Amino acid sequence: MKLLETVKLGNKTLKNKMAMAPMTRSRADIKGVVGESTILYYTQRVSAGLIISEAINISEQAIGSPFTPGVYMREQIAAWKKVTEAVHDNGGVIYAQLWHTGRVGHSLVKNGAVPFAPSSIGIIGQQHFTMEGLKDYETPQTLSIKDIEQIITDYKQAALNAIEAGFDGIELHAAFGYLPNQFLADGSNQRDDQYGGNDENRNRFVLEVMQAIIDAIGSDKVAIRLSPTSTYNNITHQNLVTQFSSLINELNNMPLAYIHLMNVPFPADKFPHYPLNSIDTFGKLSKHTVIANCGYTKATGEAELEKGTAQIISYGTLFLANPDLPRRFELNAPLNEADRATMYGGKDAGYIDYPFFNNQ
C-alpha cells in the first residue's frame, strides 16, 4: 500500500505517506496557551508520517476565534515545546501551521479591535462565533503598507518562535479565506498599490511572507497550504487558474518542503471558470512535494498516490476520530465516527477519548 510507504520530506524521512491535516480544535486557554490534553492529543496521533498542527496565531492581532493557540508569547512557546518533545520522543514529525485570520474575526474576540484586511470588504452571508454567540461580520479596516510590513515581521518572528518550540518546520496557512488568501483573491483584495490590481501584486504578500520565513529558519522547512477553489469566507477569483499558476511558478523558485493543496468542492454552476480538480490542475505545476487534501478515504487516497501528482495524502476528520489511522488502514479495520458536536471547544470529550483499535 503506497499510503504506508516511507517518503522523504525536506531533511526528514517520514514513516508513511499519511499526514494529519491541520484542524482547529479551540482547546487552548483564553491566553492562547495549550495544555496537557493537547500534548496527549498530538502524541496519540504520532503514527502519522507528518503531523501538521492546528492553526496557530502569529500575534494578538491575528486572532479570529476564542480559545485558539498562539506562538508569540513566552508562555505559549513553552507550552508548545512540551507538545513537540512528546511527539519527537514517540518518533513523530510535526510542523506548525502559522495563522493570521485577517477579516475572519470579530472585535468581541479581539479586545475591541476591529479586524484588518487587504481592503475594507466585509464577509456577508456568514456569522462568526464569539464569546457572546454568533455575530455578523464587521467591515474590516484596510491594512496600510506599514501594517503589512509589520505582519510580515510577525510571521517571521512566529516562525522563529515555532522552531524554538521544537517544531520541525512551518506551514503558512494561505487557504480557506484567511489573511494570505484574502490578498490572493480579487473578491477581497481591491487595492491599487503593489499588493493589488493584478496577479503579480496579489501574489506579493504571500511570496514576501514565505521568503521572510525561509530567511528566518532556512531551506526545506517551510511549506504552504492553498485552497484555490474554496469559496468559504466569501473568497472569489475572476481568473483563478492564471492567479494560482503564477503563484506556484513563483513558489517553485523557493526551497520549500511541500505545497499542501486542498481540493475543495464548490458550486460549479456559480463558478464555471474554476477547475474541477485542484490537484490535477495545480499539483502538476509544482516542483515541490505535493500533499493532497480534502475528503480522501483509504481507497481514494491510494488512488491519488497512484496517479503520481501527490506524494502525500492528508487526513483531517479521519485522524481526529482515529488516532491510529495508519494501523486501521493497514488492517482494514473499522473506523470511529467523528462527533461533530465536540470538534470545537470543550474539554477532553471528543478530543483525547477516541478509542484505538484493538484486534486482540
The pLDDT value recorded for residue 359 is 60
Cβ pair 30, 74 in contact under 8 A: no
Number of H helices, E strands in the chain: 10, 14
CA angle 216, 313, 72 (to 5 degrees): 30
Active-site annotation, residues: 178
Cβ pair 301, 293 in contact under 8 A: no
In-domain check, residue 211: yes
218: cell is 532556512
Cβ pair 153, 62 in contact under 8 A: no
pLDDT along the chain (360 residues), means of 10: 96 96 97 98 98 98 96 98 98 98 95 96 93 93 98 98 98 98 97 97 98 97 97 95 97 98 93 95 98 97 98 98 98 96 95 87
Q: Please tell me whether residue 191 adopts helix, strand or coil conformation.
A: coil
In-domain check, residue 293: yes
In-domain check, residue 359: no
In-domain check, residue 352: no
- State the DSSP H helix or E strand holding residue 180, giving kind and residue range, or none if neither: helix 179-184
In-domain check, residue 347: no
List the domain range (segments joined by +) for residue 188: 2-342
Please tell me the pTM assigned to this model. 0.97
In 3D space, the residue among 88, 95, 80, 5 whose CA is nearest the CA of residue 46 turns out to be: 88
Cβ pair 120, 113 in contact under 8 A: no
Q: How far apart are CA 10 and CA 311, in angstroms?
A: 13
How many domains does the chain contain in total? 1
In-domain check, residue 328: yes
Q: Whole-angstrom distance between the N-terminal and C-terminal Cα of the chain?
A: 23
What is the phi/psi pair of residue 75, to 5°? -65, -40
Residue type, position 120, single letter: S
Tell me the residue ranges of DSSP E strands in the chain.
7-9, 12-14, 18-20, 50-57, 94-99, 116-117, 127-130, 133-136, 141-142, 169-173, 222-226, 258-262, 290-293, 312-315
What CATH number corresponds to the domain at position 118?
3.20.20.70
Q: Residue 145: which residues within 8 A CB-CB, separation 6 or more?
A: 193
**Cα of 18 vs its chain's centroid, Å:** 16
The pLDDT value recorded for residue 11 is 86
Residue type, position 340, single letter: R
The pLDDT value recorded for residue 358 is 87
